[in-house]
Amino acid sequence: MSLYTWLRTATASVAVVLATATATTANAAPAPTTEPAAAAAAVVTLRYDDSRAGGWEAAIAAGVASWNANVDNVRLVEAAPGIRAEIVIVATTGWPQAQLGPVRPGRQVRVELGSQAVTQGYDKTRIAAHELGHSLGLPDTKPGPCTQLMSGSSAGTACRNAVPNATEQARVESFYAGGVAAHVATDGRVLVDAP
């Protein structure tokens, strides 16, 4: 076989292979995507127990709803009776306080919702959302404006804002990004929110 004939045959064979491969690829079904499932799996779920926070149930529910509506990487859910919760919430007569997180799944922090702040005129829902913010890893930002949830009591008794601002949201999102809360050290300090 001459070189010319060999090259013509080889070129024709390559053309047939490429045409077949292109047709197969063009008709192939798209690969199934697992992005939504992976994203859902990356959400960190933290359970809270408010069974010892009598009188605060509505404020806690509103504070939880505020966090759940404003962050995507972590979800707060009420623990079923008998199930260990990561966030234990109790009512006290003192000033509100909480252990600084970010709390990890399987670990535990305590939130104390103190009636002394309510007696002085502070909003219960803001208090609950603020203390939950500590559990999620946010320190106080005192003094600060009412637009900062973590400014706490320094925003004054007229402040009713229970929504984390964009900076606070971003910090919590980063603590729980990709389900990696286990890789972020829990601070554990108790932060008392007296003025």
Tens of pLDDT along the chain (195 residues) come to 554 444 444 444 444 444 444 444 444 444 444 445 555 558 999 999 999 999 999 999 999 999 999 999 999 999 999 999 999 999 999 999 999 999 999 999 999 999 999 999 999 999 999 999 999 999 999 999 999 999 999 999 999 999 999 999 999 999 999 876 545 556 666 767 767
| 3-class secondary-structure state, position 120 | coil
The whole-model pTM stands at: 0.76
What is the pLDDT, as a whole number, of residue 1? 53
Sign of the dihedral defined by the CA atoms of residues 33, 34, 40, 44, in that order:
negative
For residue 50, the tally of other CB atoms under 10 A from its CB is 23
Please compute, for residue 149, the number of CA atoms within 13 A of its CA located in the half-sphere on the CB side.
28
The gap between the terminal CA atoms of the chain, to the nearest Å, is: 96
pLDDT score at 145: 98
Phi/psi of residue 77, each to 5°?
-135, 150
pLDDT for the residue numbered 60: 99
Catalytic one of 35, 78, 112, 131: 131
Return the pLDDT at 21. Answer: 44
Beta bridge partners of 114: 92
pLDDT of residue 174: 93
For the beta carbon of residue 180, count every other beta carbon within 10 angstroms. 14
Structure tokens at 147: 């637009």
Is 35 designated active site?
no
- Kindly state the tokens that stand for 126: 């803001």
